[in-house]
Amino acid sequence: MKDRPNVSLWSDISNAIKGELGGITGAPTKGTFIVFEGGEGIGKSTQAKLLKAWLEQEGESVVLTREPGGSDLGIEIRKILLSHSTGEISPRAEALLYAADRAHHVYSVIRPALAAGQVVIGDRYFDSSIAYQGAGRVLEPGEVARISRWATESLFPTLTIIIDLPAEIGLARLKSKDRLESQPIDFHERVRQEFLQLSLLDPERYFIVDGNKTIDQTHAEIITRVSEIGALKRNAREDKGNLLLRPIRAAGKAVKRAAPKKKAKTKS
Ligand code: TYD
């Protein structure tokens, strides 16, 4: 295991994320890209679905996707990454497999949707690699960030929503555990801390919500923040200076549908 002296480490990640280690090579995009991040069992997928319903209610065309496994190729990579039958994968190979999944996902799903003016909601993106492979596997987070920048041609989310919960609580919600979820508790606690540290690098891009709140409360907080995104149709329709006056209504029906569901396996 490697020592991770704080100062150089954080400036390195910060540089990698901000693109100071090379020019921005990604094609310009339109559209809005919102990503959900966090540890295990935090309710990410539920919130992503509720946000999709709300955005559609607001007149947006929305693509909900996930990593790993958001493309046909990605479905195959996902099986390798998460199946217990794969056995041990070296940390660097694991990081590269996630990056390969992401590269093809961005190329074949995310960029085309953004170019068509759609809102893309991602269930995990490159911050997961920094947290899981960087901090969890104790690779160098700055290097992992750089691999993702290359893989995505520097496609950054408009907004990254981190649902924060102590690892112990999230893991206790899972009914069964895949290869990553089966890692020891200190792995998952490192992952959580890394997400929190990442959010400090760019407070405008990251939004942290408390995973201990109810589904409805969390949804309400999320749509309040998302409604501030200037590129959304709801804001384009408004006079400048009057943006916050348009009422924000939760995707009420969707909340009611989602809340009582008890799944056999509680995914985040
Ligand atoms: P998934 O079943 O989709 O879990 P979750 O519902 O928690 O998102 O499995 C994704 C797993 O892969 C999860 O344990 C996090 C891990 N992961 C990484 O380790 N690195 C990555 O870059 C990504 C995207 C996911």
pLDDT, tens digit (0-9, with 9 covering 90-100), for 157-173: 999 999 999 999 999 99
Res 28 pLDDT > 50: no
Q: What is the CATH number of the domain that holds 198?
A: 3.40.50.300
Q: Which of 65, 78, 124 is the pocket-test mutation for ligand 1 (most atoms within 8 Å of CB)?
A: 124
Q: Which of 79, 128, 194 is the pocket-test mutation for ligand 1 (most atoms within 8 Å of CB)?
A: 128
More confidently predicted of 167 and 267: 167
CA 23–ligand 1 middle distance (angstroms): 29
In a domain, 5, yes or no: no
In a domain, 90, yes or no: yes
- Alpha helices for the chain (secondary structure H): 6-18, 44-57, 72-82, 91-105, 111-115, 126-128, 141-151, 167-172, 185-201, 215-226, 233-236, 252-258
In a domain, 250, yes or no: no
In a domain, 166, yes or no: yes
In a domain, 266, yes or no: no
* pLDDT category of residue 27 using cuts at 50, 70 and 90: very low
Our count of domains for the chain comes to 1
Q: 89-93 long-range CB contacts below 8 Å, 24 or more apart?
A: 91/133, 91/137, 91/138, 91/139, 92/139
Structural domain span for residue 81: 30-231
Please state the pTM of the whole predicted model: 0.86
* Tens-place pLDDT, residues 188-208: 999 999 999 999 988 889 999
In a domain, 42, yes or no: yes
* CB 124 near ligand 1, within 6 Å: yes
Beta-bridge partner residues of 206? 160
CA 123–ligand 1 middle distance (angstroms): 9
In a domain, 197, yes or no: yes
Which residue shows structure tokens 């924000």? 248
- Mean pLDDT throughout 59-66? 97
Number of C-alpha atoms within 13 angstroms, CB side, residue 244?
3
In a domain, 248, yes or no: no
CA 144–ligand 1 middle distance (angstroms): 15
